[in-house]
Structure 1
Amino acid sequence: MTSRTTVVNSQRVKNLQVRGFYSSKRISLPPSYTRDFIPANKTHIPTGETAKAWSHLEHLQEEVAPLQDCEVGLLIGYNCSEALLPREIVSGQENQPFDCSAKFQETCLNDHLLTGPDLTNILVGVLCRFRKGLVAVMCDIERMFHQFHVKVEDQDYLRFLWWESGNLESKPSTYRMKVHLFGAASSPGCANFGLKHLAAQGQGQYGEDTIRFIQRNFYVDDGLASVPTEKEAIQLVKEASELCQAGKLRLHKFVSNNENVMASIPEEERAVIKDQDMALSLPHMERALGVECCITSDSFKFGIQVKSNPSTRRGVLSTVASVYDPLGFMAPFVLHGKQILQQMCREKIGWDEELPESLRPQWESWITDLPNLADMEVRRCYLPSDFGNIKRFELHHFSDASTSGYGMCTYLRAVDESDEVHCSLVMGKSRVSPTKVMTIPRLELSAAVVAVRASDMLRNELEIQDLKEYFWTDSTVVLGYINNDARRFQVFVANRIQRIKSSTKPEQWAYVASEDNPADHAFRGLTAEQLKTSNWFSGPKFLWHKELPVQECKVGDVKDDDPELRKVLVFNTQAKEDRSLLNRFEKFSDWSRVVQAVARLKRRVKEHKGVKQRTDESTSLEERKEAEVEEITCVCKCLGGSHSVYGREFKDTSSATSYAGFLNLAC
């Protein structure tokens, strides 16, 4: 064995067993290592007082064995891994990964492999369905990728060199893999297709619940299921194992929160309990798709091991990203860490530069508070065990935003036949606001879009029939945008309104007061203690009432000066041009030429009608006078009032005496 700096004399010991203080059951230990001294003393041994000091261990206070007057020989479960590390680790052959992305001469195997269609189930969807039933079951497909063979003609692509005993000086042997690799880009698609094909082959031979479990509730090789009763769980485990066995797949590492279900499973198919100390009856902890799950209390836990990362931008990112919370239960707490990281980006701090003094107190406070998430506990099942027959399910989505962030949260509201109500947090999301300055209405609209996207996903993944959905916001501006049908908006707002209306109806949106909106926590952020005492996990009080409150219409009107309104320009286009005889008169240089032209025109009309014979003589005085009277009449009718034509003023009149006056003036 070796520590970080020195070698420790040690021997490997196998077949050790321990027995509980109050129990006759014996537990086999994994291979251990001897030491000349134990790096611990009696003060490290938990007692009843130790359990009393921790809220999640209080119920075990009476079960803790008393402290014995003896020498310390072995502390099981004590964290010695930081002090002792194996000098050499030899990986086993099971699930051994291959680096198919390693490049040689600018190429690698994954560059030439097709990933195929994405047949992997949504991780969040599998977790959400895992919370529906009272009885939970988890299992694993043994060496899943290795159970699916590669075609013989394709196996040469999987050739590799092997040096016996790791001696690189010796001549290597050439092998080729006949099965899909852990690390190959094509393996997940091929394995998922094979698993779903196997389920399809079982149609008609096994129950629909079993087929659906194989098709929908596996995330790669990890299966999670929940059913209402233990009888259904036992049947599901039995049929699923038989169906997979028909395809030469083995389901193992079964875990359930029900003792009778576990008793029905062969012992060799059960998961090995690693972290449970039978003497102290510590909770049995497992991981459900990476989320820490306490089998004993049937709840999700959030024990975070804080690593000693440097106080740099790189270290801050590593620490914030280490909080694995796919369902967003801790989203308000994580938001503070994201905001610190965003502020470092705004100030353009380098990846390995130290935190500025202005941000250091906030970061140290957040890091100190991070271990307190271990006190958080979220029930796995949406409903308590004593809840009655369900009459209806409802999903309630809340959204809110500010200049510092925006987010949403969704609650499942169940009403039983006796009108009892229960609400549970399904998922939450918190996001920092974009670095580019945006208006509050735009941010609140963005939060509403996040809620709609979560709704689309949950509606498909929860598989609940006749599910009603409600959307709540405290922004009357957003409600005005959604209920508007007449106005046109800027591109940013118009696109988001279109996204909202493509999945929801305006009648589904309602107003909620800011003090009752739990999404307020999603953008403000909370400490661990504040999160524990807030309404984030339970939802607003009005959701627990038998009847939802009658909503008053608080839809804001879209004002004319709203900056999001698109300005409309109206152009009046004249389709028909109205031209009078006066436009033709303007083409003549003087009045006499107009008179002569009109007189000739009138003569041609008479000749065409046969009233007068055709002649080439010039117009007579009578013809010009008649033409002049006609012109003056036309001018007066077209213009009206008093106007000037060719320097002479004419007045609108229709009397014969006036025409004489015009004639005198014209002559």
Structure 2
Amino acid sequence: MIYQLAKTPHLLRVYSNIIEEQERKGFIERIDDNARSPSVHYIPHYPVKKESSTTPIRIVYDCSCKQSPSSPSLNDCLNPGPPFLNDLCTILLRFRQHNFAFSADIEKAFLHVHLNEVDRDFTRFLWLSNPTDPTSPFVTFHFRVVNAVISYHLHQNDSATSRDLLRNIYVDNVVSGSCSANFNLRSWASNSKQLNSVAQSHSVVDTKNPVKVLGLWWDTHSDTICASPNPDVTVFTFTATKREVLKWISSIFDPLGLITPVTITAKLFLQQLWQLELKWDNQLTEELCKTWYKIATEITQATVMPFPRQCTVMPDTATLHIFADASPQAYGAVAYLVQGTQSAILMSKARTAPLKQHTLPRLELMAAVLGARIYVFISTSICTTDIFFWSDSQIVLSWLTSKKTLKPFVSNHVSEIRLVSTEWRYCPSADNPADLLTRGVSFDQFNSSTKWRHSPTWLSSPSKWPTWPHAEILLVQADADEEVDTPAVDTTKSPSIGLHYLIDLTTFSKLSKLLPVTAYVYRFIHNTRQPSSSQQTGPLTVSELT
């Protein structure tokens, strides 16, 4: 590591300055090399570059490093205790509620609590005695302080401010509230000119714009957020392999799923590579490369698309709407906050369909479950007056209202949904915004879609909401595999063949087309069991269609 730093003298100087600053502030101390201790441990360390106006480089003390695969690391020997880290998406959801928002960085957040003297020898590390000479002998340091559990100190200073901070701090980043526990806040950024002016007068304002907030980029001037203001274009230069494709896809950070309709195409492409059983480092074929470069280009364009940071003016009086949908390729759900005539996307989640094929109604049911889980997640961050669930699958809606005994797969999913809500509404497929994230769209389609950004136009007018035509629903076996016959079954007879072996439900886009076909199949079955005098002929009757 020393020789690598020596190749860049400026980097070596910055690295040394950080260690000197830590020693000057009492975070670390130099110890006698001849000091004896019954148990010691030396921590390896290395530099990591970071995009920061205050700390362009940081030192990582790797407590997870092992001397050998069979040797424990320092972290392995510690009791980690319960996790205290707030959920990143939860903080971002609350961040989007405020009229005026700010972000700040806690200075040296993890270097404020003293370490017990008997434990300090387990935090030893080596550094150059003369940083200007990479060949100089090493000297030994150890830590005098330890990574502080900030939440503990906030609990000790109970107030409205500390309680708000407990909910809105992630590692050393504050995105709402203020601090009062002897931690200095710096790198202030806000959409409020007054707050920026105060921060500038104290020399703690972040002059960059946009600024990074928990992985997203926030333009404080326009008050918008995006996935990346300067996307990585190296995708167009590297040799396309399955490994590189996965690496590039993993670098796209979109925790709220704002650009899911575009990014889902990359996940579907990766799934295709798995099905082709390609090796990790084998170059993709020319055709696959063209497909991948097109997908990567679309995603690169989507990452710079701005979305309003503030999703509603008064979230306490807004209504939450969650749309679910599925296709043979993927399924997902998207949530919107609606207040009066204003609506905005809140978050979305999507999954590629399992390689083990499921019927489309089952995938639609899985999408409904995902929608219910999204609501449970959102409800921990945002308080809303009403919640409405929407699906364009009338088969799923019939399952949710059915009192019949269903097969375990359907029954388990329906039970989970009912724990959250039994009120689901029908949404025509053409108006369902979740349809976009189930099949993937091009950037141009995504950029021009107001339905994705602001939900269907009728959502802000309850009088125009579509209704579910219950009277037209066929409450027989929509998918015969999903209902359980209650009478005892004679196991000596051959098993019955379900209706789904005769009719492929996935080929019907409308119930009005499926209904008469199903009725004719049932008429045929009835006629084969009856004498000619009792057989049904002519047009379908109302009783056959209901």
Cα distance between partner residues in 2 of 1:539 and 1:376: 17
In the alignment, is the contact (CA less than 8 A) between 2:257 and 2:347 conserved in 1? yes
Q: Could you tell me how far 1:170 is from its partner in structure 2?
A: 6.1
Q: Residue in 2 aligned with 1:486? A: 404
Q: Could you tell me how far 1:152 is from its partner in structure 2?
A: 2.8
**Cα 1:564–1:390, aligned 2, differ >3 Å: closer, same or farther?**
closer
* Deviation by residue 1:627-666 (Cα, 9 ceiling, x = unmatched): xxxxxxxxxxxxxxxxxxxxxxxxxxxxxxxxxxxxxxxx
In the alignment, is the contact (CA less than 8 A) between 2:115 and 2:144 conserved in 1? yes
**Cα 1:261–1:567, aligned 2, differ >3 Å: closer, same or farther?**
same
In the alignment, is the contact (CA less than 8 A) between 2:100 and 2:192 conserved in 1? yes
In the alignment, is the contact (CA less than 8 A) between 1:474 and 1:513 conserved in 2? yes
Structure 2 counterpart of 1:537, from 443, 453, 465: 453
* Deviation by residue 1:575-613 (Cα, 9 ceiling, x = unmatched): xxxxxxxxxxxxxxxxxxxxxxxxxxxxxxxxxxxxxxx
3-state SS of the aligned residue for 2:262? helix
In the alignment, is the contact (CA less than 8 A) between 1:481 and 1:558 conserved in 2? no
Cα distance between partner residues in 1 of 2:148 and 2:111: 14
Alignment of 1:552 with 2:468, yes or no, is yes
Alignment of 1:154 with 2:119, yes or no, is yes
* Deviation by residue 1:344-402 (Cα, 9 ceiling, x = unmatched): 01111011011134423321212233332255110001136xxxx77821110001011
In the alignment, is the contact (CA less than 8 A) between 1:142 and 1:249 conserved in 2? yes
Aligned-pair identity in percent equals: 29
Cα distance between partner residues in 1 of 2:401 and 2:203: 57
Q: Residue in 2 aligned with 1:212? A: 163
* Deviation by residue 1:137-189 (Cα, 9 ceiling, x = unmatched): 11111111112332333323222334423678765433321222xxxxxxxxx
Q: Could you tell me how far 1:458 is from its partner in structure 2?
A: 0.2
In the alignment, is the contact (CA less than 8 A) between 2:263 and 2:299 conserved in 1? no
* Deviation by residue 1:408-442 (Cα, 9 ceiling, x = unmatched): 10000113xxxxx2101000122211111111111
* Deviation by residue 1:314-367 (Cα, 9 ceiling, x = unmatched): 111112122111110110100111111110011110110111344233212122
Give the 5 Å matches for 1:254-403.
254-265=188-199, 267-274=201-208, 284-302=209-227, 303-307=230-234, 308-373=237-302, 376-383=305-312, 392-403=317-328
Q: Residue in 1 aligned with 2:517? A: none
Q: Residue in 1 aligned with 2:60? A: 97
**Cα 1:379–1:164, aligned 2, differ >3 Å: closer, same or farther?**
same
Give the 5 Å matches for 1:465-476.
465-476=383-394
3-state SS of the aligned residue for 1:399? strand
**Cα 1:448–1:546, aligned 2, differ >3 Å: closer, same or farther?**
closer
Q: Could you tell me how far 1:533 is from its partner in structure 2?
A: 0.8
Q: Residue in 1 aligned with 2:175? A: 224
TM-score (norm. length: structure 2): 0.73
Cα distance between partner residues in 2 of 1:429 and 1:246: 36
In the alignment, is the contact (CA less than 8 A) between 1:198 and 1:244 conserved in 2? no
Q: Residue in 1 aligned with 2:356? A: 436
In the alignment, is the contact (CA less than 8 A) between 1:150 and 1:178 conserved in 2? yes
Alignment of 1:566 with 2:493, yes or no, is no
Give the 5 Å matches for 1:156-171.
156-165=121-130
In the alignment, is the contact (CA less than 8 A) between 2:329 and 2:438 conserved in 1? yes
In the alignment, is the contact (CA less than 8 A) between 1:309 and 1:319 conserved in 2? no
3-state SS of the aligned residue for 1:453? helix
Q: Residue in 1 aligned with 2:367? A: 447
Q: Residue in 2 aligned with 1:593? A: none
Q: Residue in 2 aligned with 1:44? A: none
* Deviation by residue 1:52-78 (Cα, 9 ceiling, x = unmatched): xxxxxxxxxxxxxxxxxxxxxxxxxxx
Cα distance between partner residues in 2 of 1:320 and 1:215: 32
Q: Could you tell me how far 1:568 is from its partner in structure 2?
A: 4.3
**Cα 1:532–1:85, aligned 2, differ >3 Å: closer, same or farther?**
farther
**Cα 1:520–1:112, aligned 2, differ >3 Å: closer, same or farther?**
same
Give the 5 Å matches for 1:8-23.
none
Cα distance between partner residues in 1 of 2:198 and 2:400: 54
Structure 1 counterpart of 2:433, from 495, 505, 518: 518
**Cα 1:470–1:560, aligned 2, differ >3 Å: closer, same or farther?**
closer
In the alignment, is the contact (CA less than 8 A) between 2:199 and 2:205 conserved in 1? no
Q: Could you tell me how far 1:502 is from its partner in structure 2?
A: 1.8
Alignment of 1:501 with 2:427, yes or no, is no
Structure 2 unaligned blocks of 5 or more: 1-9, 20-56, 491-546
Cα distance between partner residues in 2 of 1:561 and 1:260: 61
Q: Residue in 2 aligned with 1:198? A: 153
Instruction: Kindly provide the amino acid, as one letter, of the partner of residue 174 in structure 1.
Output: T
Total equivalences in the alignment: 434
Instruction: Kindly provide the amino acid, as one letter, of the partner of residue 436 in structure 2.
Output: H
In the alignment, is the contact (CA less than 8 A) between 1:147 and 1:248 conserved in 2? no
Alignment of 1:177 with 2:128, yes or no, is no
Q: Could you tell me how far 1:553 is from its partner in structure 2?
A: 4.1
Give the 5 Å matches for 1:595-606.
none
Q: Could you tell me how far 1:290 is from its partner in structure 2?
A: 1.0
3-state SS of the aligned residue for 1:253? strand
**Cα 1:540–1:244, aligned 2, differ >3 Å: closer, same or farther?**
closer
3-state SS of the aligned residue for 1:472? strand
In the alignment, is the contact (CA less than 8 A) between 1:306 and 1:370 conserved in 2? no
Cα distance between partner residues in 1 of 2:464 and 2:387: 13
**Radius of gyration: which is bigger?**
1
Cα distance between partner residues in 1 of 2:481 and 2:148: 51
In the alignment, is the contact (CA less than 8 A) between 1:217 and 1:223 conserved in 2? yes
More contact order relative to length (CA 8 Å, sep ≥ 6): 2
Q: Could you tell me how far 1:548 is from its partner in structure 2?
A: 5.4
* Deviation by residue 1:101-137 (Cα, 9 ceiling, x = unmatched): 2111432112112222111111001001001111111
**Cα 1:123–1:297, aligned 2, differ >3 Å: closer, same or farther?**
same
Cα distance between partner residues in 2 of 1:466 and 1:291: 25
**Cα 1:508–1:89, aligned 2, differ >3 Å: closer, same or farther?**
same
Q: Residue in 2 aligned with 1:627? A: none
Q: Which stretch of the first structure deviates more once superposed, 450-459 or 367-376?
A: 367-376
Q: Residue in 1 aligned with 2:29? A: none
Q: Residue in 2 aligned with 1:110? A: 75
**Cα 1:294–1:246, aligned 2, differ >3 Å: closer, same or farther?**
closer
Cα distance between partner residues in 2 of 1:569 and 1:541: 48
Q: Could you tell me how far 1:492 is from its partner in structure 2?
A: 2.0
Cα distance between partner residues in 2 of 1:87 and 1:353: 41
Q: Residue in 2 aligned with 1:36? A: none
3-state SS of the aligned residue for 1:345? helix
TM-score (norm. length: structure 1): 0.61
Structure 2 counterpart of 1:424, from 344, 369, 378: 344
In the alignment, is the contact (CA less than 8 A) between 2:196 and 2:205 conserved in 1? no
Instruction: Kindly provide the amino acid, as one letter, of the partner of residue 102 in structure 1.
Output: C
Instruction: Kindly provide the amino acid, as one letter, of the partner of residue 221 in structure 2.
Output: T
In the alignment, is the contact (CA less than 8 A) between 2:343 and 2:454 conserved in 1? yes
In the alignment, is the contact (CA less than 8 A) between 2:63 and 2:74 conserved in 1? yes
**Cα 1:367–1:245, aligned 2, differ >3 Å: closer, same or farther?**
closer
Cα distance between partner residues in 2 of 1:89 and 1:178: 19
